[in-house]
Amino acid sequence: MKFKNSNKLYKKGLKNLVGAVNSPVRAFSSVGGNPLFIKKAKGSKIYDVDGNEYIDLVVSYGPMILGHRHKSVEKAAKKALKNGYSFGASTEAEIKLAKIVCDAFPEMDKVRFVNSGTEAVLSGIRLARAFTGKDKIIKFSGCYHGHQDALLVAAGSGLATLSLPGSKGVPEGAVKNTLIAEYNNLESVKKHFIEHDDIAGVIIEPIGGNMGVVIPQDNFLKELKDYLETKGALLIADEVMTGFRSKFGGAQELLGVTADITCLGKVIGGGFPVGAYGARNEIMENVAPLGGMYQAGTLSGNPIAMAGGISTLSELKKQNPYNRFEEVGSILEVILLETAKKYNVDLAVNRFGSMMNPFFTKSKVTNFEEAQTSDTEKFGIFFWEMIKNGVFLPPSQFEAWFLNSAISDKDIKVIAKAIDKAMLTVSKM
């Protein structure tokens, strides 16, 4: 497999793009080598500028849940495009998508659309502060909630991939109201409430997808919500990654919890830039123009993005691919574990429905500290062998793999062969 054109574009891109990329994880810093440049995609496949074909387990980090260029989504986007690109005014499509989203989340009465997951989260946190009248927010080490200053501490995948403890340019004052707890450790949350009386809420990824798919243990989420209710604090669920990924709705419902505020993105836009935050009326009526919490956006509710979201969620409801995701995910999990055992490679696999991640470690992974015991050098070798054998993975040990409904049985066989070859190479280290 050759990467001549990708390498050429990388060198060209260095002149006017930062690192020749527009998002750090695309730079391949943790796996070595130069980034691949993609030309097109269709169904379960993605193609680079050198004509190499890959089965795509990145799917734009989650949004392309139906596979690339699904005919219904493409048709809806083209139809919307003919009417105009952006109006700066309300459209019927916003109302339609809002109803679909609210109907899928218990106790979500209203939703506000924005343009990204980062924007959804920063707005959701502002709303929690406005509603409670308190300032401090608790987040968990390893959970990433976008690149806003206040939450860019102990933030998982991107920073871990680049071995950065935080980010330059974030002033001390920006994080003074951010408290850090340990995922799956309720006592670490309680400790903050003992020490502070001005905590507005706790933000969490129901499934920690930015430290490599970490799953809440032993009713952790339910006990967290119950505890927060005794303290008058809100639970903010960052479902930007998990929303509509493992059921038609949120992961929180599968885990037996109802968040006070839910933040969404990725799947609800069907590949177009969309984010959202929503809650019950009592909370959402604090948002302007109904209340005093201001948030606005020129492109919020963009008609093309709304069309893509409506079509994607409508098709998801029609397909109901979640049992199939569970089946395929289980097959790949077994393949990974059995192949690792065959070649005597230490491996742990975490999976939740259509999201999974193999960790090159002998330890069980239930938090960010345990995730960091992974051998990232082995992952780098595994990554490039998978690429060379036709499987496109996230270029980071700490990013989740995502399934899509276009993956076929034939694709699974290709992935299985690639895993075998990659694991064999890793075993020779």
**More confident position, 401 or 160:** 401
Q: What is the pLDDT of residues 182-196, one digit of tens each?
A: 999 999 999 999 999
The mean per-residue pLDDT over the stretch 128-142 comes to 94
The mean per-residue pLDDT over the stretch 357-361 comes to 96
pLDDT at 260: 98
The mean per-residue pLDDT over the stretch 409-413 comes to 98
Start-to-end CA distance of the chain, whole Å, equals: 22
pLDDT at 152: 65
The residues, ordered by sequence, that sit 6+ positions from 277 with a Cβ below 8 Å of its Cβ are 111, 112, 114, 120, 121, 123, 124, 127, 261, 262, 263, 264
| Tokens at 12, concatenated | 């060209």
Task: Give yes or no for a contact between 404 and 56, defined as CB atoms under 8 angstroms apart.
Answer: yes
| Tokens at 307, concatenated | 């069309």
The mean per-residue pLDDT over the stretch 109-129 comes to 97
pLDDT at 399: 93
Task: Give the pLDDT band of residue 153 (cuts 50, 70, 90).
Answer: low
What CATH number labels 4-65+321-427? 3.90.1150.10
pLDDT at 150: 72
pLDDT at 176: 82
Q: What is the pLDDT of residues 262-300, one digit of tens each?
A: 999 999 999 999 999 999 999 999 999 999 999 999 999
pLDDT at 165: 36
**More confident position, 166 or 282:** 282
pLDDT at 163: 35
- Type of residue numbered 55: I
pLDDT at 169: 72
pLDDT at 147: 80
In the chain, residues under CATH classification 3.40.640.10 are: 71-319
Task: Give the pLDDT band of residue 175 (cuts 50, 70, 90).
Answer: confident
Whether the pLDDT of residue 160 is over 80: the answer is no
Task: Give the pLDDT band of residue 26 (cuts 50, 70, 90).
Answer: very high
**More confident position, 116 or 144:** 116
| Tokens at 32, concatenated | 């070595």
Whether the pLDDT of residue 308 is over 90: the answer is yes
Q: What is the pLDDT of residues 27-76, one digit of tens each?
A: 998 899 999 999 999 999 999 999 999 999 999 999 999 999 999 999 99
Task: Give yes or no for a contact between 32 and 3, defined as CB atoms under 8 angstroms apart.
Answer: no
Whether the pLDDT of residue 156 is over 50: the answer is no
Burial of 180 (0-12, 13-18, 19+ CB in 10 A): middle
The total number of residues written for the chain in this structure? 429
Q: Which architecture characterizes domain 71-319 according to CATH?
A: 3-Layer(aba) Sandwich (3.40)
Task: Give yes or no for a contact between 282 and 260, defined as CB atoms under 8 angstroms apart.
Answer: no
pLDDT at 164: 37
Whether the pLDDT of residue 396 is over 70: the answer is yes
pLDDT at 331: 98
Q: Among 114-123, 147-156, 206-215, 346-355, which is the least confidently predicted range?
A: 147-156
Active site residues: 144, 238, 266
The alpha carbon torsion through 86, 40, 120, 194 (nearest 10 deg) reads: -170
pLDDT at 167: 62
Average pLDDT, the chain: 93
- Three-class HEC string of the chain: CCCHHHHHHHHHHCCCCHHHCCCHHHHCCCCCCCCCCEEEEEECEEEECCCCEEEECCHHHCCCCCCECCHHHHHHHHHHHCCCCCCCCCCHHHHHHHHHHHHHCCCCCEEEEECCHHHHHHHHHHHHHHHHCCCEEEEECCCCCCCCHHHCCCCCHHHHHCCCCCCCCCCHHHHCCEEEECCCCHHHHHHHHHHCCCEEEEEECCCECCCCCECCCCCHHHHHHHHHHHHCCEEEEECCCCCCCCCCCCHHHHCCCCCCEEEECHHHHCCCCCEEEEECHHHHCCECCCCCECCCCCCCCCHHHHHHHHHHHHHHHHHCCHHHHHHHHHHHHHHHHHHHHHCCCCCEEEEECCEEEEECCCCCCCCHHHHCCCCHHHHHHHHHHHHHCCEECCCCCCCCEECCCCCCHHHHHHHHHHHHHHHHHHHCC
Whether the pLDDT of residue 172 is over 90: the answer is no
pLDDT at 429: 79
In the chain, residues under CATH classification 3.90.1150.10 are: 4-65+321-427
